[in-house]
Amino acid sequence: MLKANPLERRLQIAGVILILGLVVEGLTLLSHGAVGFLVFTGLAGSLILLGVLLYLLALVRSESLEKKP
Amino acid sequence: MQTEGLIFLLIALTIALIALLVARPGLTATSGGKIMAFLVLFGLPLLCLGLGFSAQMQNSKSTRFCLSCHIMEPYGQSLHIDDPGHLAAAHFQNHRVPPDEACYTCHTSYAMFGGLKAKLGGLRHIYVYYLGNPPKPADIKLYEPYHNRECLHCHAGARSFEEGATHNADPALLADIKSNKTSCLGCHQPVHDVATLGEQKFWKGAK
């Protein structure tokens, strides 16, 4: 499923992590207790921020690779 | 609930768009695809996270949230004591505080950054409950003495408070209450009498 192109592969990994984070966020919104809050801040938040960070890193790395002679 | 529905819808839409990019990453080769990737992998997830955080913050004010820790269950039961002399129960049962935000309404601070302080206190509770050494329910104490400001947020200016016979029996009393020199809780007791729950009768709730 993952492509050989490094940029596309990184985007796919970021996407999968973001999907996981968003699914966890959706599940925690169904919970109304303190555990849901903890899972939201600890897991969903971390996964989403990690996914976004990986996407930005993929962009930066692809830019630097393009500039190399 | 309507807001949560919209957040769910946004999350579902974002997941669907991300899944499309994951399945067909070649879409990002064009400039339009790059803009779409930025929105889908950066903008929308952060929007979902922000809205989810806001919903969680709102939810953390609810009585149900506070009582979701077992240690707080006796405090929840004390709201149903069938005795108007019990301060918290009388406020809860007579809707002097919103029943679905009963804990937060009385236990937040109505000073600057009071809401933030209350939420940081809540995080501390969660930490102690899951990772610390939580006390027995009857041994739980407030971090600092209850401030009259929280009572006066609603009662100041109310006729029953300002013109009440007991409050005016001593000419200095009203001023002392307003300046927090005399605590409201000095007279208005008990508040949460969790130690005697076994001896109490309970109100079954409105039909």
pLDDT 10s digits, B45-95: 999 999 999 999 999 999 999 999 999 999 999 999 999 999 999 999 999
| The model's pTM | 0.84
Rounded mean pLDDT of B86-105?
Answer: 96
Percent of chain A with pLDDT over 90: 64
Instruction: Find the range with the poorest average confidence among A7-16, B4-13, B130-139.
Output: B130-139
Task: Give the ipTM.
Answer: 0.90
Distance from CA of B12 to the nearest CA of A (A): 8
* B49–A49 CB contact, under 8 Å: yes
Q: How far apart are CA B86 and CA B15, in angstroms?
A: 50
Please name the residue that has the structure tokens 């976004």: A52
Phi, psi of A35 (to 5 degrees): -65, -45
Q: Does B8 sit within 8 Å of A37, measured CB to CB?
A: no
Note the pLDDT of residue B116. 85
Q: How far, in whole angstroms, is CA B149 from its chain's centroid?
A: 17
Cβ contacts (< 8 Å) between B7 and chain A: which residues?
29
Q: Where are the alpha helices (DSSP H) in chain A?
A: 6-30, 34-39, 45-67
DSSP conformation class of B149: H
| CA torsion, ordered A44, A50, A51, A53, to nearest 10 deg | 140
Q: State how far the Cα of B38 lies from the Cα of B144, in Å rounded to an integer.
A: 48
